[in-house]
């Protein structure tokens, strides 16, 4: 064992959250180390989750000709023998580019990247064991845990069957399946259901809730459900899967209602579990829940004052966006660097389904629960020139205003480039803009951004005598 190295901050986990937390501390002159078990940084965001799945989504849209079908009457049949590896082959180039950027960012900030398995030996000590067995002890003022999460595997599901997958192993399949049953209607379940449907797979989606993605605006969810149904996704909502078993060479999912679904393959997306095995959290007093998610307060401090945690390892919303912001705020609080606070309502949510969805701020229901009288303005892509050009007749920009102040409090988009479009509204919302802000703005023509102006006009009409 080598001697003890001393740092101001040791970050355990080199994913998106870990990078941002480490850079935040280093920017203010702190000595920082990042411990990462993989050969390259990036975590699930780069290697198994966000980037690979989004690469598959874009590939699916491209090879299926989905965006061109209604415009030019093009019918594209995806070859059944098409390999998933071919579809997401570009992920390797994207992954390499992103890991190089992360390595350069760590080096630029003078952050030491240490490869190996980390274990907390105390509230201010992290022990690292390298692949070769060498050990290194890191003494530190603050520890930030950003080890992420992995797919939850419910008991009773035969994951040893090569045709039963979780959200990591689904990207390892050889061919586009002829049929797929997705168990779980969360973000990942909906994203993969729509991706495979657009490639011609017969998809069933099972979820015990009566509607998808309850954290989103109800009108947006209805449009998403209709859009996915138009792709061919069959929904079994309000249903729970009891068992998955082989029958005559096929997989059969038995539902609690007594019904069953037969398919070539099954994808289970039943949430995530914190990646905390081997970290020694219990020994130092860091509390976790039944799924290994670390319990934190509003500053992301754990039950041990010197230990903070951020990202997927603390649970929902478990998005790259929120994870990075949580880590930045955690480090600020740990060292008193700034009066940063984490405002979940100010963070955009992106769901890369087909059609894609994005939102920021309050829904109508959220606003009413807070005692706000909401005024809603809508603009449909079918009435927008750019929407007509790109062939999106179902997209929608929906704005929620506070009647009393006329300020924008929520933005909800579905359709082409929704995850980009939402940021315009986010900026106006953070700057305290009102319904008049959009009316006074001048937008490029033709552009989908112009839907903001017409959604604002629609809201003005709802305001009536208040205008």
Cβ contact 437:408 at 8 Å = yes
Please tell me whether residues 264 and 319 are part of one structural domain: no
Please tell me whether residues 219 and 235 are part of one structural domain: yes
Short-list 395, 397, 391, 426, CA closest to 224: 395
> Does any domain span residue 65?
no
Please tell me whether residues 281 and 258 are part of one structural domain: no
For the segment 256-268, the average pLDDT, to the nearest whole number, is 96
> Does any domain span residue 57?
no
Over residues 9-19, the pLDDT tens digits come to: 999 999 999 99
77: confidence class by pLDDT, cuts 50, 70, 90: low
Partners of residue 412 on adjacent β-strands: 359, 398
Residue 100 per-residue DSSP state: H
> Which CATH number covers residue 396?
3.30.390.30
Over residues 112-169, the pLDDT tens digits come to: 999 999 999 999 999 999 988 889 999 999 999 999 999 999 998 999 999 999 998 9
> Does any domain span residue 297?
yes
Residue 1's pLDDT is 42
The last residue of a domain, from among 270, 303, 329: 270
Over residues 183-219, the pLDDT tens digits come to: 999 999 999 999 999 988 999 999 999 999 999 999 9
Please tell me whether residues 196 and 299 are part of one structural domain: no
Residue 94's pLDDT is 77
Please tell me whether residues 93 and 137 are part of one structural domain: yes
Residue 116's pLDDT is 95
90: confidence class by pLDDT, cuts 50, 70, 90: low
DSSP sequence for 33-78: EEEESSSSSBHHHHHTSHHHHHHHHHHHHHHHTGGGHHHH----PP
**What's the rounded Cα separation, in Å, for the pair 439 and 199?**
41
> Which CATH number covers residue 251?
3.50.50.60
Residue numbers of the domain that contains 30: 4-50+88-151+273-345
Question: Over the chain, what is the mean pLDDT?
Answer: 90
Over residues 249-260, the pLDDT tens digits come to: 899 999 999 999
Please tell me whether residues 285 and 143 are part of one structural domain: yes
The last residue of a domain, from among 238, 270, 302: 270
Please tell me whether residues 119 and 256 are part of one structural domain: no
Of 79-88, 221-230, 264-273, 440-449, where does mean pLDDT reach its minimum?
79-88
The last residue of a domain, from among 249, 270, 291: 270
For the segment 273-284, the average pLDDT, to the nearest whole number, is 96
Please tell me whether residues 34 and 94 are part of one structural domain: yes
Please tell me whether residues 265 and 408 are part of one structural domain: no
Domain count, the chain: 3
Please tell me whether residues 176 and 265 are part of one structural domain: yes
67 vs 359, more confident: 359
Percent of the chain with pLDDT over 70: 91
Please tell me whether residues 443 and 328 are part of one structural domain: no
């Amino acid at each position: 064992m080598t001697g003890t190295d001393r740092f101001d901050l040791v970050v355990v986990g080199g994913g998106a959250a870990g990078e941002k937390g480490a850079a935040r501390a280093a920017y203010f002159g702190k000595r920082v180390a990042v411990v990462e078990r993989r050969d390259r940084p990036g975590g699930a965001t780069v290697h198994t989750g966000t980037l690979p799945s989004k690469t598959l989504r874009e590939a699916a849209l491209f090879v299926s000709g989905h965006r061109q079908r209604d415009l030019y009457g093009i019918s594209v049949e995806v070859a059944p023998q098409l390999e998933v590896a071919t579809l997401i082959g570009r992920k390797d180039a994207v992954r390499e580019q992103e890991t190089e950027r992360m390595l350069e960012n760590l080096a630029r900030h003078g952050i030491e990247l240490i490869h190996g398995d980390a274990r907390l030996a105390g509230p201010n000590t992290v022990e690292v064991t390298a692949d070769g067995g060498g050990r290194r002890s890191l003494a530190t003022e603050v520890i930030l845990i950003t080890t992420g999460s992995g797919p939850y595997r419910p008991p009773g599901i035969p994951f040893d069957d090569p045709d039963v997958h979780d959200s990591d192993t689904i990207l390892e399949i050889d061919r586009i399946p002829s049929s797929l049953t997705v168990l779980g209607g969360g973000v990942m379940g909906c994203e993969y259901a729509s991706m495979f449907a657009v490639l011609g797979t017969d998809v069933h989606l099972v979820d015990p809730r009566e509607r998808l993605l309850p954290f989103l605006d109800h009108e947006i969810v209805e449009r998403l459900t209709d859009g996915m149904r138009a792709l061919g996704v069959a929904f079994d909502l309000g249903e729970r899967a009891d068992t998955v078993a082989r029958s005559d060479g096929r997989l059969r999912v038995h539902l609690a209602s007594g019904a069953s679904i037969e398919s070539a393959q099954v994808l289970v997306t039943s949430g995530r579990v914190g990646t905390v095995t081997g970290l020694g959290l219990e020994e130092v007093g860091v509390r976790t829940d039944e799924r290994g998610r670390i319990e934190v307060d509003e500053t992301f401090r754990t039950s041990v004052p010197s230990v903070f945690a951020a990202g997927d390892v603390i649970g929902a919303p478990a998005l790259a966006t929120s994870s990075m912001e949580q880590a930045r705020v955690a480090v600020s609080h740990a060292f008193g660097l700034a009066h940063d606070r984490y405002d979940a309502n100010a963070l955009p949510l992106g769901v890369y389904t087909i059609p894609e969805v994005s939102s920021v701020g309050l829904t109508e229901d959220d606003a009413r629960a807070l005692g706000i009288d909401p005024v809603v303005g809508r603009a449909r892509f079918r009435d927008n020139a750019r929407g007509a050009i790109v062939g999106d007749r179902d997209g929608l920009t929906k704005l929620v205003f506070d009647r009393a102040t006329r300020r924008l409090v929520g933005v909800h988009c579905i359709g082409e480039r929704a995850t980009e479009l939402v940021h315009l509204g986010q900026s106006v919302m953070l700057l305290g803009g009102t319904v008049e802000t959009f009316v006074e703005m001048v937008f490029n023509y033709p552009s989908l951004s112009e839907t903001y102006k017409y959604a604002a006009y629609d809201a003005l009409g709802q305001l009536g005598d208040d205008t």
